[in-house]
């Protein structure tokens, strides 16, 4: 029987082989011992919810920076999936463009800054 649990990557002792396998086989993994404060993670979730609660017309401003990116609305094939896209988390300009497209508040921009922004 195949293991059906999402792989866990421990940031205190990263095993590159395990990380590569998780990426190749699953395309995702769970991170533990990452030292991101729980309060920041909770704020990031609130910001994500706030941005996804924006009116459809505003979310559509999240343009396709690279092929297949940009706002993805729920659809018949995936009625529970909705996403906003940012092409380069390491770029301050890309983050500013993303926030400007969505008219993000100063608080949302602060929480979503490249220094705080790990997952969206």
**Domains of the chain, residue spans:** 1-35, 37-120
Copy the structure tokens of residue 19: 């990380």
Do residues 85 and 70 touch, judged by C-beta distance below 8 A? yes
d(CA 14, CA 9): 7
Beta-strand runs (E) in the chain: 8-10, 30-32
d(CA 78, CA 84): 15
Q: Give the DSSP letter of residue 7.
A: P
Tens-digit pLDDT string for the chain (120 aa)? 456 789 999 999 988 999 999 999 998 899 999 888 889 889 989 998 999 999 999 999 888 666 667 888 999 999 999 988 876 666 778 888 888 888 889 888 888 775 554 443
pTM reported for the whole predicted model = 0.68
């Amino acid at each position: 029987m195949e293991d059906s649990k999402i792989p866990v990557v421990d940031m205190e002792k990263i095993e590159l082989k395990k990380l590569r396998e998780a990426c190749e086989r699953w395309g995702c993994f769970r991170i533990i011992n990452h030292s991101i404060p729980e309060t920041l993670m909770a704020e990031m979730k609130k910001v994500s919810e706030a941005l996804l609660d924006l009116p459809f017309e505003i979310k559509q401003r999240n343009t396709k920076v690279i092929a297949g990116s940009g706002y993805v609305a729920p659809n018949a094939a995936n009625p529970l999936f909705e996403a906003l896209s940012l092409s380069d988390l390491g770029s301050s300009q890309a983050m500013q463009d993303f926030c400007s497209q969505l008219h993000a508040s100063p608080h949302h921009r602060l929480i979503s800054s490249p220094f705080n922004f790990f997952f969206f």
